[in-house]
Amino acid sequence: MPRRKAILSASLALILIPLLAAASGFASETPFDPKISAGPVLGDPSNFGAEPAKLEPSSVPHSPFVVGQPKPVPPFPILLNRLVQEYVDDYVRQPASWDAGVERSRPFFLEMTQALRAKGVPDDLLYLSFAESDFSEQGKGPWQFNKGTAQKYGLRVDRWVDERRDPVLSTEAAAEYLSDLHEAAGFDWRVAIVGWNGGDLAINRFWLLRGQNFNRFMDLLPCRTRALMSRFMAFAFMAHNSTRYGIVHLDYDAPPEYHEVPVRGGTKLSQLAGSYHTTIAKLHDLNPALLRDRIPPDAHGYTVRVPHLRTAFAE
């Protein structure tokens, strides 16, 4: 009799497990695997919307993906659906805004990318800042942090300095925040972006979308989040296909044309401009966190970006 009961229990388990999986919404979808590699191959229309493929066993690391681990990082799968294509078409028809954003970001692009990689964030998530702000010189900076979140992640915001406006410092904060959201979202970057746009409670509401195919995932998002996700993917797609669209190319690894110098608190930017053969306007371009024409008086030492000599003379 005990043997018969064991056989019946095993049979019952085989029946119940698929039913429970179906009830949780994952019976027909592949659960998200943090070791999955890139989804669609950018620039190849035959692959748009394709599901990510698993790495060959020989290339899968022995330890699981850990938040904060440097490169290699699995790429974010970019989907070119109807809404993303509409944003691409809009940007292509009006390339001036794209070009302006690229030019504003170019001096900082390498350090921004390095900040993301240091926290295990895919390179393409840098284009989330373009989707948020068009990399505008105005407002709350590339990532559009609210003041509370900015200060939580170590950014200074006061009448002298607003570090949300600094592309490198704000990207370091964004990388840490995205890394935290990624962990809270069950290691699914798509749900992490939902949390970025809608807050921690949004992650709870959309938790069961982990692992869903991308079209279904997008269809179930709120309009505001779907629009942000689509703008982000449009920017990323265009950046990877700049030659096709005839737009300015962004080079992840182009070295910056400035160096950093320590400066005493209270120093006027006019003094710095004279010492480094540049202009106050150029110093503000390279140090957009500075809200005034002098270094904060309370700073014991403040790091300022100044252009290399050849760049300064070109100005």
- ∠ Cα 148 154 157 (to 5°): 60
Residues 267 and 237 placed together within one structural domain of the fold: no
Alpha-carbon distance of 42 to 55, in angstroms, equals: 18
Instruction: Give yes or no for a contact between 80 and 48, defined as CB atoms under 8 angstroms apart.
Output: yes
Can you read off the two tokens belonging to residue 236?
């990323």
The residue among 188, 218, 245 that closes a domain is: 245
Residue where a domain stops, chosen among 245, 272, 295: 245
Residue 97 CA to residue 255 CA, distance in Å, equals 23
Does some domain include residue 133?
yes
Full domain range(s) for residue 278: 258-314
Q: Residues 236, 161: one domain?
A: yes
Q: Is residue 172 included in any domain, yes or no?
A: yes
Q: Which pLDDT tens digit goes with each residue over 271-295?
A: 999 999 999 999 999 999 999 999 9
Q: Are 151 and 219 within one domain?
A: yes
Same structural domain for residues 306 and 217? no
Asked whether residue 177 is domain-assigned, the answer is yes
Contact assessment for residue 179 and residue 121, using Cβ atoms and an 8 Å cutoff: yes
> Percentage of the chain with pLDDT > 70?
74
State whether 180 and 146 are in the same domain.
Answer: yes
The encoded tokens of residue 31 equal 């659960």
- Considering only residues 58 and 204, tell me which one the structure prediction assigns the higher pLDDT: 204
**Within this chain, do residues 216 and 304 fall inside the same structural domain, yes or no?**
no
Task: Give the tokens for residue 250.
Answer: 């962004």
Do residues 277 and 225 both lie within one domain? no
DSSP 287: -
Question: Both 93 and 220 in a single domain?
Answer: yes
Question: Is the domain of 208 the same as that of 289?
Answer: no
Q: What is the pLDDT of residues 141-169, one digit of tens each?
A: 999 999 999 999 999 999 999 999 999 99
Q: Please state, rounded to an integer, the average pLDDT across all residues of the chain.
A: 77
Residue 7 domain flag: no
Please report which confidence band the pLDDT of residue 80 belongs to, taking 50, 70 and 90 as the band edges: confident
Residue 277: predicted pLDDT: 93
Q: Which residue, among 169, 164, 166, 204, has the nearest Cα to 186 in the 3D structure?
A: 204
b/e code 100-116 from CB counts within 10 Å (16+ = b) = ebbebbbbbbbbbbbbb
The Cα 27–Cα 20 span in angstroms is 9
Q: Most distant CA pair in the chain: distance in Å?
A: 94
User: Of the residues 214, 245, 276, which one is the last residue of a structural domain?
Assistant: 245
Alpha helix stretches (DSSP H) within the chain:
2-23, 82-93, 95-105, 109-118, 127-133, 147-152, 167-184, 189-198, 200-205, 214-219, 223-240, 242-245, 269-275, 280-286, 309-314
Confidence at residue 309, expressed as pLDDT on a 0 to 100 scale: 75
- 116: in domain: yes
Q: Which of 36, 54, 31, 84 is nearest to 218 (CA)?
A: 84
Q: Tens digit of pLDDT for each residue in 17-50?
A: 333 333 333 223 333 332 333 333 333 333 333 3
Residue 59 lies in a domain: no
**Does residue 251 sit within a domain?**
no
**CATH number of the domain that residue 197 is part of:** 1.10.530.10
Task: Output the pLDDT for position 29.
Answer: 33
pLDDT of residue 212: 63
Is 297 in the same domain as 158? no
Is residue 188, in this structure, part of any structural domain at all? yes
pLDDT-based confidence at residue 103 (cuts at 50, 70, 90): confident
CATH assignment of the domain containing 263: 3.10.350
- The average pLDDT across 117-131 equals 95
Based on the fold, state whether residues 147 and 268 are members of the same structural domain: no
Check residue 257 and give its pLDDT.
87
CB atoms within 10 A of CB 279: 16
Task: Looking at the structure, tell me whether residues 163 and 285 fall in a common domain.
Answer: no
> What is the DSSP-derived secondary structure letter of residue 261?
E
**In sequence order, which residues have a C-beta less than 8 Å from that of residue 261 and are 6 or more positions away?**
276, 303, 304, 306
Q: What is the number of structural domains in the chain?
A: 2
